[in-house]
Amino acid sequence: MVETTDSIDLDSTEDASQFLTFKLSGEELAVPIMQVKEIIEYDELTNVPMVPEFIAGAINLRGSVVPVVNLAIKFGLEPCEITRRTCVIIMEIDIDGEHSVMGMLVDKVLQVIDIADENIDPAPSFGAQIRTDFIRGMAKLEDRFIIILAINKVLSVEEIAVVGNINDDGSSEVTVD
């Protein structure tokens, strides 16, 4: 049984099985609510030169520069069409001990749902439009499946380094070997 939550309490400690669901290129995806810092309305992004194509730009979030990843481009899906429902999900990620904050550009945020561990199957070996190493599992709900992202695996260590080199002035430091 899936329960929905009307309000999003990002400070709750009882949300180990809570997920934020959203739409991306027609797919319903989810991320663990514990990694979500906040959800903001889409506004113009600052263009950042010399970064990979999937970096949509950067935003100023209360004085901090936060890079925004276009997940659709990263996953090889149809890019997001910017509408009034387009959002940026601000996420905390931790890769190999590197703590970082990034934004994810999504078509629209849906809801927060509780998903029991027994309703989550391992990532499929075929059939998903998203690389299986980006998928934590597939949530089986009454009438649909939801792809749960392994958000810490979406960016490689090298890509995290590029994201981390986006400066407070919106420029990027790129080192060439």
Give pLDDT tens digits for 16-73: 489 999 999 988 999 999 999 999 999 899 998 888 899 999 999 999 899 999 999 9
In a domain, 91, yes or no: yes
d(CA 115, CA 16): 9
Count how many domains the chain has. Answer: 1
Amino acid 69: pLDDT: 92
pLDDT at 12 over 50: no
In a domain, 45, yes or no: yes
Give pLDDT tens digits for 103-145: 999 999 999 999 988 888 887 766 555 666 678 888 988 888 8
In a domain, 174, yes or no: no
pLDDT at 3 over 90: no
d(CA 161, CA 169): 17
Amino acid 174: pLDDT: 39
CATH of residue 33's domain is 2.40.50.180
In a domain, 52, yes or no: yes
In a domain, 170, yes or no: no
In a domain, 171, yes or no: no
What average pLDDT does range 91-102 have in this prediction?
A: 81
pLDDT at 171 over 70: no
> Which SS3 state, helix, strand or coil, does residue 127 take?
coil
Q: Which residues contact 121 (CB under 8 A, 6 or more apart)?
A: 137, 138, 140
In a domain, 173, yes or no: no
pTM of whole model > 0.85?
Answer: no
Q: Which residues of 93-130 are buried (b: 16+ CB within 10 A; e: fewer)?
A: bebeeeebebbbbbbebbebbbbeeebbeebeeeebeb
Confidence category of residue 1, pLDDT binned at 50, 70, 90: very low
In a domain, 8, yes or no: yes
Domain hosting residue 68, numbered range? 4-164
Confidence category of residue 89, pLDDT binned at 50, 70, 90: very high
d(CA 105, CA 90): 9
d(CA 53, CA 117): 35
Amino acid 176: pLDDT: 31
